[in-house]
Amino acid sequence: MKAQNKATKVSNKRAWIIPVEFILMCIFLIGAILVIELIDYDTESIGFSIGTEFTTIMIAIVIVAPILPSYKRQNIHVEMFVVLLTMGSFLCLMDITRMCIDSSHVGDINKALAVFVFVTEVTFTLFYWLYMSHTLKTSKKITAILDIVACIGWLVFVVLPFVNYFSPLYFYIDSEGYLRKSVDTWWICRIYMALIFVLAIVSLLISKEKLKNKITVVVFLVLPLFSAIAAGGTYSLSVIYPSMTVSLMLVYSLLSSDNEKRLYAKTKELNLATSIQMDALPNKFPAFPNHKEFDIYALMHPAKEVGGDFYDFFLIDDKHLGIVIADVSDKGVPSALFMMQSKIIIQNYAMMGLSPKEVLTKANKQLCANHQQKLFVTVWFAVLDLETGLLTAANGGHEYPIIKKPDGHFEIYKDKHGTVLGMFDVFLYSEYQIQLEKGTKIFVYTDGVPECNGFNGQFKLNRAVETLNKYEDKAPEDICKSMLKELKEFMGNKDQFDDITMVCVEYRGLE
C-alpha cells in the first residue's frame, strides 16, 4: 500500500519525465551517430536528411513527453497535437529506415517501406488539416463539407502509392537497389497537399476567428508549402516534416496561450464562487458561545472548486436549533447554484416555525416548480429542542444518521426515508422523534464519506462507524477533523471523487 502510494506520488509529480526524455534523446543521438558513421551515403543530401529527421523526432519527444501524464484530461486540440507529432515522428523513423537500407539489394523491403511512408504521409496530412480546420470558427455545416472533401481525397491518395508495386508512379528501384523518383509523375504525390492548402484558404476566408489566429494558421500552412518548394528533389521529405512540426508548434502555442487566459479567467471566477459558497455556510466556531446546551461543528471538503453538498445550522428561536445536511446530484457550478437555492428555501420555511416534515414537503414543491435542470437534492433536516433534548427529524433520501448515546458507542440509526427533493412535487414527507440524553452525539454526513475511494476500494459505512468510535470521547470538532484526516489517508494520492461533508452535534442539556 505504502509503496503504491509512493509510486503514485512520484508519477503525479512527473519526476520521471526528465530522465526518460534524456534517455530517449541519448538513444536517438547514439543511433544517429552510428547511422552517419556506418552507412556509406551516395550523396550528402541523404546524410542531411537523416540528421534532420532524427532532430525532428527528438524535438517531438521533448514536446510530447510533458503532456502525456495529463493526456486524458486534455481538450481535443491537445489530443490531436499529440497524435500529429507522434505520427510525424513515426513517419520520420520509417523514412530514416528506408534510407538506411537504400542500395542494400533488398528492393522489396525498400519498396514496401517507401509505400508505407507515402501512405502515412497522406494520413498525416489529413490529421494536419483536421487540426488546423477546427482551430477556426467556421460553421459546422461548412466544416463538415470540407472534412468530407479532405477524407475523399485521402481515400484516393492513400491507394495511389500501392500502384508502385506494378508501375513506377512515384518511384522505382534501380538495378543497384536505390530508390529513384519517377521524374514525369512524381508531382502527383503533392496534389493532396495542394488540395489541403486550397481547403484551408476557403476555411480562412469564411472563418470568424480573430485576425491573429488567422495569421497563425496562414503560417501554419505556408511554412510547409515553402519548405516543399524549396526542398525540391534534393532533400526529399526531410525538410517538409520538420517544417510541419514547427508550424504545429506555432498553432499549439497560440491555442495554449488563449487557453491559459481563459483558464485564468475561469479559475478566478471559480475561486470567487468557492469563496461565496463557503461564506454562505456557517464557518465560525464555536457557533453559539452563549448556548451551553449543545456543541456543534461542521465542515465541507468539495471535490471540485465548488461543491453540491451543503450543511446549515441556525437558531429558529432561543429554544430550538435547526440542523441541515444535504447533497445535490451531480457536481460543479449548476449543482452549486441549486445547492444555494435549496439552502435558502429550507432555511426560510424552517424559520417560519414549521415542523421538519412540513419544511421538506414545502421545499420539495418549490424546488420542483419550473425546475428544468433535472437536479435533485437529498436532505436530512432536524429541529432540536434545547430544553428537553427532543430531536424531531425528517429524511429526504439522505444517508442514515449515526448516533452515540452517553453510555454507548456510535451506531447507525436506520430512520425512515422519504424521496429526494426536486423530483416529485406531490410527495408528503414524514418525521420521527428521538429523545436525546445529556452527552448524546449525532453525526450526519453525505455519501462522500462511505463512498470515499482509495486504493483498496471504498471506505464504506461500517469503517466510518469504526472510525467514529476511535474518537467517540472527543468533542464534535475533533471528531469531524479526525474523520476527514482518516478519509484523506485512505484516499492516498487518488483524486477525490465526491464532496465530503459532515456535521456533528453533542447535546449537553441545561445546567
CB 164 within 8 A of CB 177: no
Full pLDDT tens readout for the chain, 511 residues:
333 344 334 344 444 554 565 566 566 556 655 555 555 545 556 666 777 777 777 777 777 777 766 655 566 667 777 777 788 778 777 777 777 777 666 667 778 888 888 888 888 888 878 877 766 666 678 888 888 999 999 999 999 999 888 888 888 887 777 777 887 888 888 888 888 888 878 877 777 766 666 666 676 666 766 766 665 544 455 667 677 777 777 667 666 665 556 666 666 666 666 677 777 889 899 999 999 999 999 999 888 767 778 999 999 999 999 999 999 987 777 778 888 889 999 999 999 999 999 999 999 999 998 666 678 999 999 999 999 999 999 999 999 999 999 999 999 999 988 999 998 888 889 999 999 999 999 999 999 999 999 888 899 999 999 999 999 999 999 999 999 999 999 998 887 888 899 999 999 988 6
Q: Is 315 helix (H, G, I), strand (E, B) or coil?
A: strand
Of the candidates 418, 400, 422, which has an alpha carbon nearest to the alpha carbon of residue 410? 400
Amino acid at 38: L
Half-sphere exposure of 159 (CA within 13 A, CB side): 5
Q: Is 2 within a domain?
A: no
Here the CATH number for the domain that contains residue 334 is 3.60.40.10
Cα torsion through 451, 454, 458, 461, rounded to 10: -70
165: left (phi over 0), alpha (psi -120 to 50) or beta: alpha
> Which of 202, 234, 267 is the last residue before a domain boundary?
267
- 8 occurs within a structural domain: no
d(C-alpha 75, C-alpha 511), whole Å? 61
pLDDT of residue 382: 97
What are 6's three cell numbers? 509512493
Report d(CA 179, CA 175) in Å as an integer.
10
On whether both 409 and 307 belong to a single domain, the answer is: yes
pLDDT score for 142: 81
428/498 same-domain check: yes
Q: Check: CB of residue 100 under 8 Å from CB of residue 35.
A: yes
Residue 244 shares a structural domain with residue 320: no
Q: Look at residue 400 and give its three-state secondary structure.
A: coil
| Three cell numbers written together for 10 | 512520484
pTM value? 0.58
Question: Do 50 and 193 belong to one domain?
Answer: yes
Sign of CA dihedral 7, 11, 14, 19: positive
DSSP E strands in 368-455: the ranges are 377-385, 390-396, 402-404, 410-412, 432-435, 440-445, 453-454
Rounded to 5 degrees, φ, ψ at 54 are: -60, -40
Q: What integer pLDDT is reported at residue 69 of this predicted model?
A: 64
Residue 291 and residue 262 share a domain: no
233 domain-assigned:
yes
* AA identity, residue 339: M
Closest Cα to residue 250, out of 143, 136, 132?
Answer: 132
Strand partners, 339: none
From 267, 291, 308, the end of a domain falls on: 267
Reported as type and span, the H/E element at residue 173 is strand 171-173
Question: Is residue 404 included in any domain, yes or no?
Answer: yes
CATH code (residue 43):
1.20.1070
Helix/strand/coil (H/E/C) assignment for every residue in 206-251 = HCCCCHHHHHHHHHHHHHHHHHHHHHCCCCCCCCHHHHHHHHHHHH
- Domain end, chosen from 267, 290, 315, is at 267
| Spatial CA neighbour of 119 closest among 130, 111, 108 | 111
Using alpha carbons, list the distances in angstroms from residue 163 to 68, 123, 150, 192. 38, 17, 21, 16
What pLDDT is attached to residue 109?
A: 79
Q: Measuring CA to CA, which residue among 200, 78, 218, 189 is closest to residue 147?
A: 200
C-alpha to C-alpha distance for 244 and 196, rounded to whole angstroms: 13
Question: Hey, how many other C-beta atoms are within 10 angstroms of the C-beta on 26?
Answer: 11
Q: In 271-344, where do the E strands start and end? A: 294-301, 309-317, 320-328
* Number of structural domains found in the chain: 2
Task: For residue 430, tell me if it sits in a domain.
Answer: yes
What secondary structure, in 3-state letters, does 435-471 show? ECCCCEEEEEECCCCCCCEECCEECCHHHHHHHHHHC
Residue (of 55, 391, 97) closest to 245 by Cα position: 55
Establish if 96 belongs to a structural domain.
Answer: yes
Give the whole-angstrom CA distance, residue 300 versus residue 278. Answer: 9
Which cell numbers in the block locate residue 36? 552517419
Instruction: Tell me how crowded residue 430 is: count the other CB atoms within 10 A of its CB.
Output: 14
Indicate if 197 and 225 belong to the same structural domain. Answer: yes
DSSP state of 417: P
Range of the domain at 262: 14-267
Check whether residue 147 and residue 29 sit in a common domain: yes
Output the CA torsion 202→203→207→212 (10° steps). -100
Closest CA to 507 of 232, 294, 226: 294
Confidence at residue 13, expressed as pLDDT on a 0 to 100 scale: 43
